[in-house]
C-alpha cells in the first residue's frame, strides 16, 4: 500500500465523512425492462456509484463558506497559518489559500483553452504542487508538516486528497458492491468512464471494502484497468468525444461491440447521449433525484435504454446471454 493510500485509510477510518439523507427517486419511464447480450458495463463514479454530497452545497453562498472551511482545515492540519498570514496580512489564511487555489485553477483552464482544448480537465495535484512551492519560497517547511518527508510530489497529492476529503461527503449508494460483484461473476467486463482525479480509485477501494464487509479488498478486483478512463489522465472531461472514442477503441481490443456495452450514468448529457451516439446501450440511475442531471437541459434527445432506482436491481436487468432487444 502506498503512503498516500495508508494516509487516506487512516482519515477514512478516523473521520469518515458521511452525511445521511433520505434518497428520493426520480420516477421516469424506461424503454425496455432488460438488456440482453451484455458483455461490458462501463460505470460513471460521482452521482452514479458514489453519493458525493454534503448539506449546504445546493446554495452558492453556503457552498463557498463550506469550501473556505475545508481550506481552513488544510491550514490548521499542515501548519500553514503563519506563512499565509505573512504572505497576505489583509486576509485570513484560509481565504488566502482559497484564493490561491481558485486562481491557479482559472489559470490552468485558461491555458488549456488557449491551447485549443475543448472541455479541459486539470490535475489537482499539480495545482497543490504550485501552492506548496509558493509556501516553501516564503519559509514554509513542508517536511516538518507532511505525513512523510522528502517527497514534494507526495505532499502535493496529500494536500489534494485532504482538501477533497474535507470538502465533500462520500459513500457508495446502497447495493453498489453487491451489484458490481454479481455483474463481474456473470462474465461481464466492468470499467469506469468518469470525471475523476487520482484519488478516485483510492476512495472507491475504501468504500467498496466497507460496503462489502472486507470481501472486496481493492477496486481493481472489479474494474478492468484497460476499460477505465478517468478524466484527469487525459486532460478533458465528459462529454468529450475523445474520452468515449478511447473507450470505443478499448472495447474493440476486447472484441466487444458497442451494442454489447452498457454505459451506466446519472447524466443524460454527459453519460447517456455520447454513449448512445457511438451505438452503446445505456442505463440511467434515477435513485437520487438530487443527482440526476441533464433532464432540464438539451441532452440531444437522449433516451436511456433502461432506468433503474436501486443498484440491487441492475444485475437482474443486464443479462449476458441473449441478443440485443
Q: What is the pLDDT of residue 146?
A: 78
| Residue 275 scores a pLDDT above 60 | yes
Contacts of 183 (CB under 8 A, 6+ apart): 41, 190, 314, 315, 318
Do the beta carbons of residue 185 and residue 85 sit within 8 Å? no
Set of cell numbers at residue 86: 505573512
Q: Quick one: cell of 42?
A: 462501463
CA separation for the pair 43, 41 (Å, rounded): 6
64 vs 119, higher pLDDT:
64
Q: For the chain, give every domain's residue range.
A: 21-54+170-317, 60-167
pLDDT of residue 201: 97
Q: What is the DSSP string of 157-214?
A: HHHHHHHHHHH-EEEEPTTHHHHHHHHHHTT-EEEEEES--TTHHHHHHHHHHHHTTT
Instruction: Name the pTM for this structure.
Output: 0.94
With 0-12 / 13-18 / 19 or more C-beta atoms within 10 angstroms meaning exposed / middle / buried, residue 81 is: middle
pLDDT of residue 261: 98
Closest of 8, 27, 34, 15 to residue 283, by C-alpha:
34
CA distance 229 to 244: 9
Q: Using one digit for the tens of pLDDT, what is the confidence trace for 237-268?
A: 999 988 999 999 999 999 999 999 999 999 99
Q: Is the pLDDT of residue 274 over 60?
A: yes
Q: What is the CA radius of gyration of the chain?
A: 21
Q: Mind giving me the DSSP string for 44-108?
A: --BTTTEEEE-TTTTSHHHHHHHHHHHHHHHHHHTT-HHHHHHH-TTS-HHHHHHHHHHHHHHHH
pLDDT digits (tens, 9 = 90+) for 163-187: 999 999 999 999 999 999 999 999 9
DSSP string, 102-139: HHHHHHHHHHHHHTT-SSB---HHHHHHHHHHHHHHTT
CATH superfamily, region 21-54+170-317: HAD superfamily/HAD-like (3.40.50.1000)
Average pLDDT score, the chain:
92
Q: Can you tell me the mean pLDDT for 310-315?
A: 97
Amino acid at each position: 500500500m502506498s503512503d498516500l493510500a495508508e494516509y487516506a485509510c487512516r482519515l477514512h477510518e478516523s473521520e469518515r465523512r458521511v452525511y445521511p439523507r433520505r434518497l428520493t427517486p426520480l420516477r421516469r419511464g424506461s424503454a425496455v425492462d432488460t438488456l440482453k447480450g451484455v458483455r461490458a458495463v462501463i460505470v460513471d463514479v460521482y452521482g452514479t456509484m458514489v453519493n458525493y454530497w454534503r448539506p449546504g452545497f445546493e446554495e452558492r453562498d453556503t457552498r463557498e463558506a463550506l469550501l473556505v472551511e475545508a481550506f481552513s482545515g488544510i491550514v490548521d492540519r499542515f501548519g500553514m497559518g503563519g506563512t499565509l498570514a505573512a504572505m497576505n496580512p489583509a486576509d485570513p489564511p484560509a481565504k488566502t489559500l482559497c484564493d490561491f487555489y481558485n486562481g491557479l485553477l482559472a489559470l490552468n483552464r485558461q491555458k488549456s483553452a488557449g491551447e485549443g482544448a475543448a472541455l479541459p480537465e486539470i490535475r489537482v495535484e499539480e495545482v497543490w504542487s504550485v501552492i506548496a512551492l509558493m509556501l516553501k519560497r516564503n519559509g514554509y517547511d513542508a517536511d516538518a508538516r507532511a505525513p512523510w518527508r522528502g517527497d514534494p510530489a507526495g505532499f502535493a497529492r496529500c494536500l489534494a486528497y485532504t482538501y477533497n476529503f474535507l470538502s465533500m461527503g462520500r459513500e457508495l449508494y446502497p447495493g453498489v458492491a453487491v451489484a458490481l460483484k454479481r455483474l463481474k461473476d456473470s462474465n461481464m467486463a466492468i470499467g469506469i468512464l468518469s470525471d475523476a482525479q487520482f484519488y478516485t480509485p483510492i476512495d472507491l477501494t475504501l468504500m467498496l471494502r466497507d460496503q462489502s464487509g472486507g470481501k472486496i479488498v481493492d477496486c481493481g478486483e472489479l474494474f478492468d484497468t484497460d476499460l477505465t478512463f478517468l478524466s484527469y489522465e487525459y486532460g478533458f472531461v465528459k462529454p468529450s468525444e475523445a474520452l468515449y472514442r478511447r473507450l470505443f477503441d478499448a472495447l474493440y481490443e476486447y472484441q466487444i461491440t458497442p451494442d454489447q456495452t452498457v454505459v451506466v450514468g446519472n447524466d443524460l448529457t454527459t453519460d447517456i447521449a455520447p454513449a448512445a451516439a457511438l451505438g452503446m446501450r445505456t442505463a440511467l440511475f434515477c435513485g437520487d433525484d438530487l443527482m440526476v442531471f441533464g433532464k432540464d437541459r438539451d441532452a440531444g434527445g437522449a433516451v436511456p435504454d433502461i432506468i433503474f432506482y436501486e443498484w440491487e436491481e441492475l444485475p437482474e436487468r443486464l443479462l449476458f446471454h441473449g441478443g440485443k432487444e
